[in-house]
Amino acid sequence: MTREQRLELLRLMLLQRQFEDRVLALYRQGRIAGSVYTGRGQEAVAAAAGLALGPDDVVCPLNRELACHFAKGVTVEEAFRNFLGRADGPTRGRDGNMHFGVPARGVFPLVSMLGNLVPVTVGAALAFKRRGEPRVALTFLGEGAFSVGDTHEGLNLAGVWQVPAVFVLQSNGYSYSTPAARQMVNTNLAERITGGWSIPAERVDGTDALATFAACRAAIERARSGGGPQAVEALTLRIHGHAAHDDARYVPAELRAAYADRDPVARLEERLRLDGVGSEELGALRERVRTTVEQGLLEAEASPAPDPAELEDGVWAAPLEKPDRAL
């Protein structure tokens, strides 16, 4: 990994961190409606997987992977417009928070129902295989999503069809308030994926951005070069509650105490310092990210609110020969 790539990885992680901090502040000020989810503690996984994808690869991110959107070229303004429900945002105010995607950048709009996007990812990879294109489709999953039937059907199809799909598992220990051990008997997801579906799965420390990048890139390139579906299980932390309303008091104190040492952003900065990146350069990067976030917010706030008169546009992809509004 080049120095530039490492700095880009950090930039993406900082972008998610600072964006989400900004969003949380806006939420608490009542300037964002609905709910807000963050990926604090998991930025390395989102950024590493996103950065390891090629420009023609596609992805179905979930709740905690904003850095992956940014890696695929989704802009901060676009993301803010979705959180703010603006007319020119990716969902035109029809969906909120991180429930969006930008198809033109290869990002499928997030579907809330966990597991649904696993077969969708497999289908995109099937299209690549059918056409002989050297492209990869990737999605993320948490432990909760791993309990859903769609996930199992999708993994099975990926194996049977040997398609270039990559599954990145975010093992953050919790599904909302439910610890992983109450979600499943064997919490070693890599073992289950390898043993159950014969899909190679590597386990990696998801707070170590460089190791996570290496694992994701290797998996993606194996899939791209005809190695069939691949998985990476990243062991991470969910430093915040499930969403902004959840103070996560159910997380035991010992686990909370570990957060400070395993913050992926701090860890990567420390590593870059060892590599000879000066504090000044790191500070300048942080500042650049801060400016990007603030400018993006300003632009998004200047965007128009959606018009209720347009609500029924786009139910159908193309107008019927004889559209009927009388119904």
Partner 1 sequence: MRVGRKLRATVEITYLEAVTAALRDALREDERVFLLGEDIGVFGGAFGATKGLLEEFGPERVLDTPISEEGFVGAAVGAAWMGERPVVELQFADFATCALDQLLTVAAKTHWRSGLPLPLVVRMPSGGGVRGGPFHAASPEGLFAGQPGLKVVCPATVEDAYGLTRSAIDDPDPVLVFEHKALYRRLRGPLPPPSLRTPLGRARLAREGADATVVAYGACVWTALEAVERLGADVEVLDLRTVWPFDAEAILRSLTKTSRLLVLQEAARSTGAAGLVLSLVARLGFESLDAPPALHAPPDTPVPFAPELEDAYLPSVESTAAELERLLAY
Residue numbers 229-258 binding ligand TPP by CB under 6 A: 238, 242
Query: Which residue of 95, 143, 208, 269 would you call a contact of Mg ion, by CB under 5 A?
Result: 143
Angle at the Cα of 83 from the Cα atoms of 244 and 51, rounded to 5 degrees: 90
What tokens does 308 get?
């209720």
The residue count of the chain comes to: 327
Task: Report the distance separating Cα 49 and Cα 46, nearest Å.
Answer: 6
Q: From the list Mg ion, ligand TPP, partner 1, none, which binds 22 (C-beta under 5 to 8 Å, kind-based)? A: none
Contact between 115 and Mg ion per CB under 5 A: no
Query: Which residue of 112, 225, 291, 295 would you call a contact of ligand TPP, by CB under 6 A?
Result: 112
Residue numbers 76-105 binding partner 1 by CB under 8 A: 90-91, 94-95, 99-101, 103
Contact between 140 and partner 1 per CB under 8 A: no
CB 109 within 8 A of CB 89: no
Closest CA to 245 of 37, 18, 84, 25: 37
Q: From the list Mg ion, partner 1, ligand TPP, none, which binds 292 (C-beta under 5 to 8 Å, kind-based)? A: none
Task: Report the distance separating Cα 33 and Cα 58, nearest Å.
Answer: 29
Contact between 116 and partner 1 per CB under 8 A: yes
Least distance CB 325 / Mg ion (angstroms): 44
Task: Report the distance separating Cα 241 and Cα 38, nearest Å.
Answer: 8
Q: From the list partner 1, Mg ion, ligand TPP, none, which binds 176 (C-beta under 5 to 8 Å, kind-based)? A: ligand TPP
Query: Which residue of 38, 82, 172, 207 would you call a contact of Mg ion, by CB under 5 A?
Result: 172
Task: Report the distance separating Cα 125 and Cα 221, nearest Å.
Answer: 14
Question: With contacts defined by CB under 6 A, how many residues of the chain interact with ligand TPP?
Answer: 17
What tokens does 48 get?
């590493």
Contact between 20 and ligand TPP per CB under 6 A: no
Number of Cβ within a 10 Å radius of residue 186: 10
Residue 89's alpha-carbon distances to 19, 171, 217, 297, in angstroms, are: 16, 31, 31, 12
Of the ranges 136-144, 193-201, 226-234, 277-285, which one interacts with ligand TPP (CB under 6 A)? 136-144
Query: Which residue of 13, 46, 58, 209 would you call a contact of partner 1, by CB under 8 A?
Result: 58
| Burial category of 202 from C-beta neighbours within 10 Å (exposed 0-12, middle 13-18, buried 19 and up) | middle
Q: 311: number of CA atoms within 13 Å, CB side?
A: 4
Least distance CB 247 / Mg ion (angstroms): 17
Query: Which residue of 1, 33, 160, 258 would you call a contact of partner 1, by CB under 8 A?
Result: 160
Task: Report the distance separating Cα 264 and Cα 216, nearest Å.
Answer: 16
Q: From the list partner 1, ligand TPP, Mg ion, none, which binds 145 (C-beta under 5 to 8 Å, kind-based)? A: ligand TPP
Residue numbers 163-202 binding ligand TPP by CB under 6 A: 170, 172, 174-176
Residue with tokens 């917010």: 297
Least distance CB 141 / Mg ion (angstroms): 9
Q: φ, ψ for residue 165 (rounded to 5)?
A: -115, 145
Q: At what angle do helices 279-301 and 264-274 cross, to 10 degrees?
A: 140
Q: Which residues bind Mg ion (CB under 5 A)?
A: 142-143, 172, 175
Q: By the criterion CB under 8 A, which residues form the site for partner 1?
A: 58, 90-91, 94-95, 99-101, 103, 108-109, 111-113, 116-128, 130, 137, 149-150, 153-154, 156-157, 160, 314-318, 320-322, 324, 326-327
